[in-house]
Amino acid sequence: MKHAFYALIIIQALYELVKLFKCKSLYRHAKVFQKLDKTSKRWYLMAHPWLHVAFFMDTIGLLLLGMGLFSSQWVCFLIVLAMSFSQIQKLGAWAVFLDSLVTVIIYTFAILNTYHLI
């Protein structure tokens, strides 16, 4: 089970790496999406289907962080969870970049530390 969990964390870290390179676009689309009404949101999601992937991966990421609190690396997952709930990403594209960068570093540290590679 531990190996499956950390395999999912690796996938989540790869998603965060992709988010690093798309931070400006993601921030701009999220800002527009929040201002729309219910019908417009549906049309906007149809026009930008990759937003479905982003919402899905963020939800899975929160579930993995919750599960990570029960692992030996709970402090790492608690830090990422606190960053997620701090809403720092609403400050701008630079904040999305910084959040993703720190998250990737923490995920990498947790994986390396779990398997005693450092």
Q: Kindly write down the DSSP assignment for every residue of 28-52, as one continuous string.
A: HHHHHHHHS-HHHHHHHHHH-THHH
Residue 13 near residue 104 (C-beta atoms within 8 A): yes
Query: Among residues 18, 27, 15, 20, which one has the least CA distance to residue 93?
Result: 27
Reply yes or no on whether the pLDDT at 118 is more than 80: no
Query: What pLDDT score was predicted for residue 88?
Result: 85
3-state secondary structure of 79: helix
Domains of the chain: total:
1
Query: What pLDDT score was predicted for residue 83?
Result: 92
Tell me the per-residue pLDDT of 44-54, one tens digit each, with 9 for 90 and over: 888 888 888 88
| Separation between Cα atoms, residue 96 and residue 75, nearest integer Å | 22
Domain range for 83: 2-114
Q: Letter for the amino acid at 94?
A: W
Tell me the per-residue pLDDT of 54-109, one tens digit each, with 9 for 90 and over: 889 999 999 999 999 999 999 999 999 999 898 888 888 899 899 999 999 999 99
* Residue matched to tokens 């990570």: 68
Residue 45 near residue 34 (C-beta atoms within 8 A): no
Q: What does pTM read for this prediction?
A: 0.88
| Separation between Cα atoms, residue 84 and residue 103, nearest integer Å | 10
